[in-house]
Structures are given as C-alpha cells and as structure tokens.
Amino acid sequence: MQISLPNKLVSNRTTLKVFKDYNVKLKKCLIVHPGEMASEFVKEPGLSNFYTVDFWDGTSQKDLATTLATNNYDVVLLDPSSTISLDKVQLKHINNLRVNQVSVYNLASFHENFSKRIPLAHFQSWLINSDMFFVNSRTVFLFQKRMIDILVSLMLAPFALMLVLLAILGIMCTSRGPVFFIQKRVGIKGRTFKIFKLRTMRHMPDNVNASHTVKNDARITPIGHILRKTKIDELPQLFNILNGDMSLIGPRPEKEEIVAKLVEDAPYYNLRHSIRPGVTGWAQVNYPTATPEQSLQKLEYDLFYVKNASHSLDFKIILQTIRVVFTLDSL
C-alpha cells in the first residue's frame, strides 16, 4: 500500500524544485506492520522530499518476502507501536536484509533522526523502544561543556560589559524603572534561580500580573525592540553562566508556574531539567516563534537536545544563533 505525502512547508517546495532540476532519486521506504507511530511519521513535513513510503501490514496478497524482493527498498522500518509481532519467517527475511546491506531501523529512532526532535505523540512508546537519556552519565562531556561555558563567558565579558553599560544608559534615558529584569526560573534538577536580563518593557508594579510577551507587544519600549532584536538584553545572563545556573546552550528556562502547568500536561516535561538551561538552544533555532500554547511542540526539540547533546550540536546551534542575530530575526 503506497501513500502520497503532502508538502507542509514553503521551503519544501524549493527543495522539491531542486530535486526535480537535478533528477535526484527518492529513496524507497517500507514500514512493516504500521501502527500509530507510522501514522504520525508520514505526516512529517519534508518527508516526501526524500522518501516514498509503502506499508506492509500483512493483509496484502503478497507475503513479506515477495514484497521485499520485488520493490528493492532502500530503507525498511519496524514500527514498535504495532500490536502485531513478526513471526520467525518474517524475522528471517528482515535479518537477510541486514546481511545484504539494506538499512533496517526502529521507526522511533528513525523518526527522531529525520526530524531532529522527539515527537510527543508517541513518547511513551519511544521511551520504551528507543535509546534512553544518558546525558547525566556523560560526566566528561558535561565537565568539558562547563569549562567551555566559563572560558567563553570570561572572554565575552569585557565586550559584553561595554554593550550592557551603553544599553543601561539608553534604558535610563528613555523609560522609568529598574534597568534589570530579574525573575525566578526553573533550572537543572528543578532548582529555581534568578535570571538577569536588561529591561526591554515598560516597568510594571509587582502586584500586577504581567501576561506573556507577544509579537509587536505594545509594552516593549523603543530601545527594548533594539535590545531584543540584537539579543543584547540577554548579555547579563553571562553572570548566570559563571554562577553555574545556566549554560551557553540548553533549553530555555521557564517560570515556575509555566513549568507546573506543563508538567501536568506532559509528565516527561521535567526531563528538560536534566541539563543546565541555556541562553540559546535547539528549540530556539528550530521553533523561534512559538507561543505559550506551543510549548509542548518546542519540548520535542528540547528533549532531542537533552538526549543528543554534543559539542558538534552546540557549535551548530551557535552558528544558527549568530545567523539569527545578524539577520535580526527573533528567537
């Protein structure tokens, strides 16, 4: 059974045009005994740019051996969410594929690697069938990451101090109130800490409940727009990094009340607190315009980072963040 996959991103159309211009051959993919996870996977934006996807659910007139032999698949995926198990004969055919250098993957891991996020729709099945979170046991990596945080923060400190002093002068000249915005956030292991930012909005009394910032928020001051676009308002967080509360790269820290609400909706939300929060992160560069209602979608990228954190991934995030700053896009 073959399915057609709709394009969901404008950028995909460009990719498809390039593929057509250069006659790039799409890879053939077969999902064996598709379950709910397969249903989510085929909705993945951009999938149709790289793969044609067939299902084999055992109801076809062709048996698995015939299906594999006549279609010359590049990739075969086994869906762990399926309620149907492979019998001995089918397992033999799957093992023969591996012997013949055909790629055979667990669908949970393949979906994660393709999308660079961990889909929440079937997180429980993924947690059981995919590799677990090992970042806390990677003591050497975490030590190196901490040393890099300290070294880079100290190197940036003199330059950052000059920019912060100029920003403070601009804030004092254009609006009343404190120059720093200080707020409690949730960090590693669920511990709270005070995050420091330059104030970019009109000062509100402590007894006023401030709503979440939205695009083109009227409360943002003229200089606040500049500070936000250039990320200068985030520079005081170098103190948070040196203090051990934050890292350069990691999931963005959230307020306690937001975390409490999201943990109710997704108990595994706390997994993002297994690593230090960051000034920028994988979710910020991949899902920059998320609203509070889309926090769980951003969580998919945060969980991917927590599970796959590495120096190379950190470097990639830094490059994408620099691009965002210089193009004045907003994270």
* pLDDT tens per residue across all 331 residues of the chain: 444 343 333 333 334 444 444 455 789 999 998 988 898 899 998 898 999 999 998 776 578 888 888 888 999 999 888 877 788 888 888 888 888 888 899 898 899 999 999 888 767 766 665 555 656 668 899 999 999 999 999 999 999 999 999 999 999 998 888 999 999 999 999 999 999 999 998 876 554 555 566 556 778 898 999 998 888 999 999 999 999 999 999 999 999 999 999 998 888 899 899 999 999 999 999 987 767 668 888 999 999 999 889 999 999 999 999 887 777 665 5
| Fold exhibited by the domain 2-129 | Rossmann fold (3.40.50)
Residue type for position 9: L
Query: What is the pTM (predicted TM-score) of this model?
Result: 0.81
The pLDDT value given to residue 61: 58
For 127, counting Cβ atoms within 10 Å of its Cβ (0-12 exposed, 13-18 middle, 19+ buried), the class is middle
Which residues on neighbouring strands pair with residue 47, listed in sequence order? none
The pLDDT value given to residue 296: 84
For 167, counting Cβ atoms within 10 Å of its Cβ (0-12 exposed, 13-18 middle, 19+ buried), the class is buried
Spatial neighbors of 130 by CB under 8 A, at least 6 apart, are: 106, 108, 109, 112
Which residues in the chain are classed under CATH 3.40.50? 2-129
* Spatial distance between the Cα atoms of 293 and 62, rounded to a whole number of angstroms: 45
